[in-house]
Structure 1
């Protein structure tokens, strides 16, 4: 009975320990991802808050106060750094606001320069919200459409918190949040996006957690126009092979004004081959009212195909070479057989004509 009792207690405490450990892991994960938040706060009449985005409309040179709310959900005092940045488009086809330096050939006005102060470090008490005011000056330089940027907020000088994935890999995450800003001048007209493809280059692209051979199409929006919730379909064809066709579809894309990004297209498990190709890329709005069709020819060289096939782990297929060598060997054997057969026949013919013994002649008796 005592032995049974001890075993029962051991099992009970073991299960209890597992439950407590699991609960602690859940609490840690929640703390890592949900221990602070941000939100736009109401301020001037010129600032409209639309679905978490500041939409600001005013006269050139006008100054507008904008307020950001930072909520510290932890129980300790923490510091946060707030930056106002110019919008760019990340390689998922979504606007990003976490870069302090953004470059694009068509970008004329940096939204970051319109906001002061910048690079603010705010101390927020545990369980409290702090409202941080900044001044936004609508650019004096005339522009059509909207220029875009955003406030990016992240913990100040805090170490990245680690979580363990299902396969045992340690992943370190540093969370940050952003609030988008759209600025429009009252006197200016709206502008539609203007999409084009700059280049198409072969490379290694991500495809369902794998690195595959593929191409990156650099898509450019050269106008101050912005459309949310775009769907896209890319079709790659090969000029000398009608059977070759690769397609890719995406939804929920939104290309920031005066920005560019890489639209990746995977070859999947297919080996990349050298040749001349064509890309057709179609963007459509959700309601189907507007669409943009982009076309671009591009070339993949033998060296590029070999390089990215190797990096993707695709081994060269030499079957065609083995077949060619087999046909060549068979042709050599057949040719040699025919040659030897004919030579043998000629030799036999010559022997019959020149070396046949004379028949003995009979003498007549007189």
Structure 2
């Protein structure tokens, strides 16, 4: 039932972008809203995440064949590919297309240190860099070996003086 023959065009807006987890995996969620009383069919959304002030794409995601009901919103997730969150300011750049319509959805967001730490603790299958532990263990082994060699040299020298 309609009150007018005027066709209502859908309009998408980006409400918020924030760090979150989807099935205990780190992700960025962009809340996208269809603020008009119009159905959107066969929509494609592409999104890229950048560190503020940089041009390298950190993470990206594309979803096709989406539908969206009138006056609704949903969280579009961009997975971090099992990478940990790093605190900082980021930029979400998204493009939604449906038919001849195109919406540019950009928003800056910040991930705080304690927030990143909490999510990283809870995340499963997280790729963690243990390089510093390997370097520390290697340095300890080298110090122990040098200590043993110096001790043996000292003993040998002392023994040779005693004879």
TM-score (norm 2): 0.72
Provide Cα deviations, 1:291-330, integer angstroms capped at 9, x if missing partner: 1111111000111111111111337546458879x9xxxx
Provide Cα deviations, 1:166-189, integer angstroms capped at 9, x if missing partner: xxxxxxxxxxxxxxxxxx33x241
Give the distance between the partners of 2:55 and 2:131, measured in 1 at CA.
Answer: 22
Does residue 197 (structure 1) correspond to residue 14 (structure 2)? The answer is yes
Kindly report which structure 2 residues correspond to 1:221-240, keeping only aligned pairs within 5 A, or say none: 221-240=34-53
Residues 309, 241 of structure 1: alpha-carbon distance in 2 compared, 3 angstrom cutoff? farther
Give the distance between the partners of 1:268 and 1:204, measured in 2 at CA.
Answer: 12
Does residue 305 (structure 1) correspond to residue 116 (structure 2)? The answer is yes
DSSP 3-state at the match of 1:254 = strand
Q: Which stretches in structure 1 are left out of the alignment for 5+ residues?
A: 1-56, 58-183, 327-366
Give the distance between the partners of 1:319 and 1:233, measured in 2 at CA.
Answer: 34
Kindly report which structure 2 residues correspond to 1:39-50, keeping only aligned pairs within 5 A, or say none: none
Kindly report which structure 2 residues correspond to 1:337-352, keeping only aligned pairs within 5 A, or say none: none
Provide Cα deviations, 1:118-138, integer angstroms capped at 9, x if missing partner: xxxxxxxxxxxxxxxxxxxxx
Question: Does structure 2 conserve the Cα–Cα contact (< 8 Å) formed by 1:309 and 1:315?
Answer: no
Does residue 284 (structure 1) correspond to residue 97 (structure 2)? The answer is yes
Match of 2:76 among 248, 263, 267: 263
4+ residue segments displaced more than 6 Å? 321-324
DSSP 3-state at the match of 1:268 = coil
Residues paired across the two proteins, number: 136
Give the distance between the partners of 2:93 and 2:69, measured in 1 at CA.
Answer: 21
DSSP 3-state at the match of 2:37 = coil
Kindly report which structure 2 residues correspond to 1:118-129, keeping only aligned pairs within 5 A, or say none: none
- Choose between structure 1 and 2 for higher RCO, CA contacts under 8 A separated by at least 6 residues: 2
Aligned to 1:178: none
Give the distance between the partners of 2:116 and 2:60, measured in 1 at CA.
Answer: 19
Rg: which structure is higher? Answer: 1
Kindly report which structure 2 residues correspond to 1:1-366, keeping only aligned pairs within 5 A, or say none: 57=1, 184-185=2-3, 187-206=4-23, 211-285=24-98, 287=99, 289-313=100-124, 314=126, 317=129, 319=131
Question: Does structure 2 conserve the Cα–Cα contact (< 8 Å) formed by 1:195 and 1:220?
Answer: yes
Deviation at 1:230, TM superposition (A): 0.5
Residues 301, 282 of structure 1: alpha-carbon distance in 2 compared, 3 angstrom cutoff? same
Give the distance between the partners of 1:291 and 1:241, measured in 2 at CA.
Answer: 25
Give the distance between the partners of 1:271 and 1:241, measured in 2 at CA.
Answer: 19
Question: Does structure 2 conserve the Cα–Cα contact (< 8 Å) formed by 1:205 and 1:265?
Answer: no
Q: Which stretches in structure 2 are left out of the alignment for 5+ residues?
A: 139-163
